[in-house]
Amino acid sequence: MHIQGISLFAIAFLVGADELLLGPILTPIGNDFSVKPESVTLFVTAYSLGNAVCAFFFGALSDRYGRMQVLIPASIVFAGASVATALTECFSCALFFRVVTGAASAGMLPIAFAIAADTGTSRAIRSVAFVQAGLTLGMVTSPSLGALLTELFSWRIAFAALGIAALPFALMAMLIRTAPIPAESISQPVSRARLLVPGSVGALIAMGFGLGGGTAIFTLIGERLRDIAGLGTGTIGGVYALLGIVSVIGNVAMPRISARFGDGRHIMRCALVVCLTMNAVVFVTPAGWPLAFALPLWALAAGIGSPALMNYIAELATARRGALMALGMTAMHGGLAVTSGLAGMTYTMGPEWTAALGTLLFALAILALRPAKGPAESETRHRTVDP
């Protein structure tokens, strides 16, 4: 179990690091390829495209043929594509390799969450929270690590290091023992198992608006700190790092909170209420000092709610867990992509408009997570495919 935990944590860390690695190194990459830094943001678009197209497909494959049959090849492709991105001299080729990297990550992160959830009810919550902590830590540390490696060596070293680091954990993943896929699961159509069970649509909406949209709003706190407190770029980066650590603490604390206060749906709704309130404080309050309390509370609530929602999704349709969790990650990335530009536009109109957008997004997620109608959720979660 230690090997499994370390492997899944590392895989989530690498995917999280890859997602936010670009932030501080757009200009060096642009200079190397003789393109504008704004054009390098196409790396993000290409990555997201590959991820969105392949996520559900890989999740369904893992439900049918087994998690390792997807995770290990995807990790190896991720490593190769990252190294290829570092080695290529052609910008168009680099974009292609970013598409491949995104596609490979679609076979890594959702599957890692599914494996964690497969460990059983008693350990699943802790395992999911541990994987989420790896993802959060990767997202928090990658901008500074990428900037450091670029400053010391080159942006190419940053990408190559990411790819090379994936290989040992891909090999380690071969030692993970997962629940075998029954023979009848392979011989029968997967469609016989329900995917969108009661509660799943609301959970996916919450992933899109609450996590994806909430992340888009949260990324603007740097500009807010710059405007009302006059903080510099380095200080703002330090604030983000500290808030990331607070989120990791929330990830780790989630299992204890779940044992005390109930299922992931209820915990996420409470976390969203906190996020909605702190969003209003951050973007409406003209003074800077309330942010010293609001931002850590926002980060902590997000750190608790994210793995709680992932664990809730994992319990909804056990026979289609891989596919449903992949849909959840797609919804989150889709929500982030759609709302990022909208959030930036509202901030140019005035921070109160950003607060209004955040309130709307969080409110929609809260409404989406209302108790599901129909069969009891506890029965739904343990429902299996009819023979």
The listed range with the strongest mean pLDDT (57-61, 201-205, 323-327) is 201-205
386 vs 303, higher pLDDT: 303
Which residues, 6 or more positions from 381, have their beta carbon under 8 angstroms from its beta carbon?
315, 316, 317, 318
Task: Please check whether residue 244 lies inside any domain of the structure.
Answer: yes
Residue type, 88: T
Residue type, 387: P
Cβ atoms of residues 377 and 199 within 8 Å: yes
164 vs 321, higher pLDDT: 164
Residues 221 and 368 in one domain: yes
Give the structural domain span for 296: 200-381
Looking at residue 128, its pLDDT comes to: 83
Q: Does position 356 have pLDDT exceeding 90, yes or no?
A: yes
Residues 205 and 353 in one domain: yes
386 vs 176, higher pLDDT: 176
Residues 333 and 302 in one domain: yes
Residues 85 and 159 in one domain: yes
Q: Which of the four pLDDT bands, split at 50, 70 and 90, describes residue 192?
A: low
Cβ atoms of residues 330 and 55 within 8 Å: yes
Which residues, 6 or more positions from 364, have their beta carbon under 8 angstroms from its beta carbon?
205, 209, 210
DSSP string covering 85-125: HHH---HHHHHHHHHHHHHHHHTTHHHHHHHHHTT-HHHHH
Cβ atoms of residues 231 and 225 within 8 Å: yes
The two three-digit tokens of residue 160, written as one number: 């190559």
Task: Please check whether residue 84 lies inside any domain of the structure.
Answer: yes
Q: Does position 188 have pLDDT exceeding 60, yes or no?
A: no
Residues 121 and 231 in one domain: no
DSSP 8-state code for residue 24:
G
- Phi/psi at 212 (5° precision): -65, -55
Residues 158 and 226 in one domain: no
384 vs 207, higher pLDDT: 207
332 vs 179, higher pLDDT: 332
Q: Which of the four pLDDT bands, split at 50, 70 and 90, describes residue 177?
A: low
Last residue of a domain, one of 155, 184, 213: 184
Listed residue (143, 148, 177, 180) closest to 66, CA to CA = 180
376 vs 115, higher pLDDT: 115
Residues 262 and 374 in one domain: yes
Determine the average pLDDT of the residues in 148-162: 88
Q: d(Cα 74, Cα 109) in Å, to the nearest integer?
A: 10
Task: Please check whether residue 192 lies inside any domain of the structure.
Answer: no
Residues 223 and 138 in one domain: no
Looking at residue 347, its pLDDT comes to: 86
Q: d(Cα 165, Cα 170) in Å, to the nearest integer?
A: 9
> Residue 212: enclosing H or E segment and its boundaries?
none
Task: Please check whether residue 193 lies inside any domain of the structure.
Answer: no
Cβ atoms of residues 173 and 62 within 8 Å: no
Task: Please check whether residue 195 lies inside any domain of the structure.
Answer: no
Last residue of a domain, one of 157, 184, 211: 184
Looking at residue 383, its pLDDT comes to: 41
Looking at residue 193, its pLDDT comes to: 57
Count H helices, E strands: the chain? 19, 0
pLDDT single digits (tens) 255-305: 888 878 777 888 999 999 999 999 999 999 887 788 889 999 999 999 898
Q: Does position 191 have pLDDT exceeding 60, yes or no?
A: no
Task: Please check whether residue 387 lies inside any domain of the structure.
Answer: no
Q: Please state which of the ranges 339-343, 367-371, 373-377 shows the lowest mean pLDDT.
A: 373-377
The Cα angle at residue 211 between residues 61 and 202, in degrees rounded to 5: 70
Last residue of a domain, one of 136, 159, 184: 184
Q: Does position 93 have pLDDT exceeding 90, yes or no?
A: yes
Residues 335 and 373 in one domain: yes
Residues 69 and 6 in one domain: yes
Looking at residue 96, its pLDDT comes to: 94
Looking at residue 184, its pLDDT comes to: 40
Determine the average pLDDT of the residues in 174-190: 51
Cβ atoms of residues 240 and 290 within 8 Å: no
Q: d(Cα 221, Cα 240) in Å, to the nearest integer?
A: 9
Looking at residue 209, its pLDDT comes to: 92
C-alpha dist (Å) from residue 331 to 110, 143, 164, 201, 317 = 12, 24, 29, 11, 17
Looking at residue 104, its pLDDT comes to: 93
Looking at residue 352, its pLDDT comes to: 92
Q: State the helix-helix crossing angle for 291-316 and 264-284, rounded to 10 degrees.
A: 150
Q: Which of the four pLDDT bands, split at 50, 70 and 90, describes residue 186?
A: very low
The Cα angle at residue 34 between residues 28 and 39, in degrees rounded to 5: 75
The two three-digit tokens of residue 182, written as one number: 């029954």
Average pLDDT, the chain: 81
Q: Does position 78 have pLDDT exceeding 70, yes or no?
A: yes
Residues 157 and 204 in one domain: no
Q: Which of the four pLDDT bands, split at 50, 70 and 90, describes residue 380?
A: very low
Task: Please check whether residue 386 lies inside any domain of the structure.
Answer: no
Q: Tell me the helix, strand and coil percentages in the chain, rounded to 5.
A: 85, 0, 15
Q: Please state which of the ranges 80-84, 186-190, 358-362 shows the lowest mean pLDDT.
A: 186-190
Cβ atoms of residues 8 and 134 within 8 Å: yes
Cβ atoms of residues 108 and 287 within 8 Å: no
Listed residue (170, 145, 296) closest to 221, CA to CA = 296
Looking at residue 199, its pLDDT comes to: 79
| Cα of 266 vs its chain's centroid, Å | 20
| Cα of 275 vs its chain's centroid, Å | 17
114 vs 184, higher pLDDT: 114
Q: Does position 251 have pLDDT exceeding 70, yes or no?
A: yes
Q: d(Cα 353, Cα 220) in Å, to the nearest integer?
A: 12
Looking at residue 340, its pLDDT comes to: 74
Listed residue (306, 55, 61, 328) closest to 199, CA to CA = 328
Q: d(Cα 237, Cα 235) in Å, to the nearest integer?
A: 5
Domain count, the chain: 2
The listed range with the strongest mean pLDDT (127-141, 222-236, 296-310, 326-340) is 296-310
Task: Please check whether residue 240 lies inside any domain of the structure.
Answer: yes
Residues 62 and 159 in one domain: yes
Determine the average pLDDT of the residues in 218-236: 78
Return the CATH number at 53. 1.20.1250.20
